[in-house]
Structures are given as C-alpha cells and as structure tokens.
Amino acid sequence: MFDQINGWVSDQLAISSGPSAYLFLFLGGVLASLLPCVYPVYPLTVNFLRNRKSDLGKFAHPLIYYAGLASIYFGFGIIAALTGGAFNQVLQLPLANLSIGLLLFVMALATVDLLHLPFFGGQVESEKNGLGGTFVMGAGAGLLSSACVGPIVVSILIAIASGASEITFGLTLGAAFKMMLFGLGVGIPVLLLGVFGMALPKSGKWMLSVQWVFAIMIGYFAIGYFVKGLNGLGFNDQMASYTIIGAILFVYAIFQIQSVQKTKQEKIKTALYSLLGVIGFLIMASNVLPGQAVGGNNLTASNSDSDNIEQKGELTWYLNKENAYSKAGETGKLVFVDFHADWCTNCKAFQEKTQKDEQLNAALQNAVLYKVYDTSTEFDKYRNDPRFPELKIGIPFFLITDASGNVLYKTNDFTKTEEMILFLE
C-alpha cells in the first residue's frame, strides 16, 4: 500500500500543475494518513484531546492541534527551499532513526499506562490546559507522522527542487504552502477524531484490549526504526535483533525484581534508567577498548586504491566514472549508478539487498556498477546537473544509463528493486 501511495503522489506531481497539483498534494496526505505506521498516533490524540478544556469551546483544542501538525510540514517546505532537503538527510542518520524508535517505544508504554506522560493525556490538570501545549502536541504528531511518510515527503521535495533555479521568497513560500497542504491531508483523521473524540464511549475492559493492540502496533514500528538505526551504526539485521531483544529482556528483568510496593510506572522508569546507564557504560567502554568492527554486514568487502574498485561479495563496484563507462563501452552493458554515503541508513539497507536479494544480485552482475560516494568531487557534479533534482534532496539515489551516459531510469526509492531489475534485464 505504501509503495502505491508514494508512486501515485509522485506521478500526479509530475503530470500536474496549478490548482490540480495542490489538490493532489492534499489528497496524497489523506491517503498517507491511512498508513498503518501513522494510525497509532490517533488513539493518543483522542486520549490527549478529550481531557483538554477551553473557554473557546470544544473545537478549540482539536483545531489548534491540527494547526500544530500542519505547521511542521510548513516548516519542512521552508527547509526544502532553503537547504535542498536537509530533512531527508536527517532522516537517514542512525541517531535520527534511533531517536524516532525511542519516541515510539515511549509512546507504546504510555498507551498501556506503563509510563505516565502528561502531554499524552491522562488526568491533565486545568492549569495545564492551555492552547500552547496543544499546539506543541500537534507539532509533535506531525513530526512523528512525517518520519513514517518520509519517502512520500521526499517525492514532494523533489518536485519542489526540480523547479528551483534560485532561492526566492516566492519559491520558499510556495514550497512551504505545498508541504502544508500535504500535512493538512495527513491531519484530517486526527482532526475528525479530535472533534468527535470528545464524547467517547464509556470506558471498560474492552478499552484495555484496544490499548494493548495499539501499543503492540507502535512497538512494532519502534523496533523497525531501532533496527534501521543500528544498521546505520554497522550492525547487521541479526545483531540488531539480538541487541533489541536483549534490551527488552533487561528492562523486563529490572521491572520484575523491584518491590511490589512500587507502582508500575515507577518500576518502568527505574528499568529504563538502568538500561540507559548500561548503554552509557558500553558507549564509554567502546572508546577505551581496542577498536573492532561492530557487527559488520557479513559481506566480503575490499578496496583497491590503484584500480578504484570496491568488491562486495560477487559484485564489483567501480569508484571511478571514467573506468566504469570505459568498461561499459567495451562490454556493451548498462551502467548502474549508486549514490552512497556511510551515514545513510537507506543506502546501507540497499547494500544489504544487493547481497540478499538473489534476483537483484543476478541483475546487477549483468551491469557495470558505479558507486559515487557523497565525499567525491563527482558527487557534486551530479548534484549540480539539472537532470537530477533528486540529489538536491539527498540520497539514496540510483541511476541506470547506457554506455554513453543517457539516462534510462532513476529513483530515490531503494525499495523499488523490481523496477531496477526490469530495466537492467
């Protein structure tokens, strides 16, 4: 479902202009709001808003919450116009993914009342019922949902960047307005739930089951972000999974050994602080003990400075453009170009796919492979090429060209391996 929504938004932005483009942005946001990784935000929204009161009426807080959510996307548009997609690059950082995972994990605990977060609802005191806090919560929900719909957001940023010959006030405002429209679409269910959620059915045992279902959903996506962040730090999927399982078991053990007189919220806090202490100790120890590879990718990798070649398993990647295209001219093969960075989590995820996906691996072996690191001078040349506005937004980015450099295919979505295979074959 996610790939279809992303593709639909990209296609409509490519063929539409004027008012219709703005309409498709809003509709794309509404569709994105139905994604399963956005949906867990909704019960938290209802739990939060139903306890907020205002002299301005019952619609005040839902509307302010909605405005806060939309404002985050408005800010993304400004960032896209001024910095060329810094938001997308931030999302690729391991620390960003780990932070998102931590936020989701905390929200999962709060959903089943294992952790008390005043901002998410509960018994909110009257003096804390100001509209400012509601606006901040809406902005937080927008930030959380934006991480989930990141690839769709990138598609919009690419459309914005493709028409950006220079930065102007009009361009910046237009980019911000486009992103805000998408955010307004994403927030539609949140707004409706906030308005009608003021009169929820009476609580009962059924609500506990619902809360646990949502907590499990949120926890599932938290684990996904944790794995992605750990991959970016050099852990393979197996080591990342073992690390997460170990952390969960550690928290559970600390929770269980505490006094029964403590509340469950106090136990969870102690367990989380204990885990934080262990992580801090391991980080300090890693800077003291002799350095070793952390996990690795179980891939045979070697670099040859003289030949400018990088070997990954059975795949040979050229690091020099002239050598790559010379080889393509000799063999008549297509050239697959991978724009890569060591800090980019999706770049590393694709690197894993090239080894684990047998069809993709076989297709790549029939092409000349050229890898362009973000630290190379060639990367800047590609980035300034008007044919590739995607690189203004960030990486990953992939090209398939013929031996003469004519572009046959390009994408910034590392999951579209079937399309890559189709063009390579």
CATH fold group of domain 301-424: Glutaredoxin (3.40.30)
Higher-confidence residue of 181 and 200: namely: 181
Rounded to a whole number of angstroms, the distance between the first and last alpha carbons of the chain is 26
Averaged over 273-278, what is the pLDDT?
91
- pLDDT at residue 114, as a whole number: 83
- pLDDT tens, position by position, 287-345: 665 544 444 444 444 444 445 888 888 899 999 999 999 999 999 999 999 999 888 88
From CA 353, how far away is CA 340, in angstroms rounded?
Answer: 14
Q: Tell me which residue of 254, 244, 38, 252 sits closest to 147, measured CA to CA.
A: 38
From CA 351, how far away is CA 102, in angstroms rounded?
Answer: 25
- pLDDT tens, position by position, 345-401: 888 889 889 998 999 999 999 999 999 998 889 998 998 888 887 787 778 899 999
Res. 8: pLDDT tops 60: no
Q: Hey, is 359 helix, strand or coil?
A: helix
Averaged over 5-18, what is the pLDDT?
52
Contact call for residues 227 and 105 (beta carbons, < 8 A): no
C-alpha 391, offset from chain centre = 17
From CA 346, how far away is CA 70, in angstroms rounded?
Answer: 26
Percent of the chain topping pLDDT 90: 20
The DSSP letter of residue 39 is T
Contact call for residues 9 and 167 (beta carbons, < 8 A): no
- pLDDT at residue 59, as a whole number: 73
- pLDDT tens, position by position, 279-300: 888 878 766 655 444 444 444 4
- pLDDT tens, position by position, 127-143: 445 677 778 777 777 77
- pLDDT at residue 299, as a whole number: 44
- Residue 350 burial by CB count (10 A; 0-12/13-18/19+): exposed, middle or buried? buried
Order of strands across the sheet with 397-401? 301-304, 309-312, 315-318, 368-373, 335-340, 397-401, 407-411
Residue with tokens 């350095």: 291
From CA 207, how far away is CA 188, in angstroms rounded?
Answer: 24
- pLDDT at residue 328, as a whole number: 93
Averaged over 1-8, what is the pLDDT?
52
Q: Tell me which residue of 223, 167, 190, 225 sits closest to 73, measured CA to CA.
A: 190
- pLDDT at residue 280, as a whole number: 85
Each domain of the chain, given as residue ranges in start order, spans: 2-235, 301-424
Contact call for residues 334 and 424 (beta carbons, < 8 A): yes
Residues in Cβ contact with 128 at an 8 Å cutoff, skipping those fewer than 6 apart: 118
Identify the weakest region by mean pLDDT among 139-148, 317-326, 402-411.
139-148
Q: Tell me which residue of 323, 326, 373, 375 sits closest to 351, measured CA to CA.
A: 373
Higher-confidence residue of 93 and 336: namely: 336
CA distances in angstroms from 104 to 185, 189, 291, listed in the order given: 22, 20, 32
